[in-house]
Amino acid sequence: MAKADQFYLAAETIATTIEDQDIADVICCARLGEHAHCDDHQETVALLSKADSANAKYLKVLLDLKTRSGYSATPTSKTDQKRAGRAAAALVSAARAIG
């Protein structure tokens, strides 16, 4: 059951992360005139760090949690879940401030 709960959280996180990668594209396009052209998470975070280093850290938090949730048997903690929620909220807020 713990693993099922972890996969459920991962699915929610993945949905948020996909949205947040799109948000990262919005921030990068607005500030740099470009966006990441691949699925490499490190490249996306590196490009976002050129546009906004604080928000790049938030994206990294989400992507790291996505990877850990998908490939580890260790359940995500309530602290991880709260961090992910704060990171996602910060990214959405930053993108809305641009638009």
Distances (CA, A) of 31 to 27, 64, 73: 6, 24, 38
DSSP type of residue 38: S
pLDDT in tens, 6-22: 667 766 666 665 555 67
- Longest Cα–Cα distance of the chain, Å, equals 45
pLDDT per residue as tens digits for the range 37-59? 877 888 889 999 999 999 999 99
Q: Against a cut of 0.85, is the pTM above it? A: no
Closest CA to 95 of 15, 36, 27: 27
Domain ranges of the chain: 2-98
Residue 45 confidence (pLDDT): 92
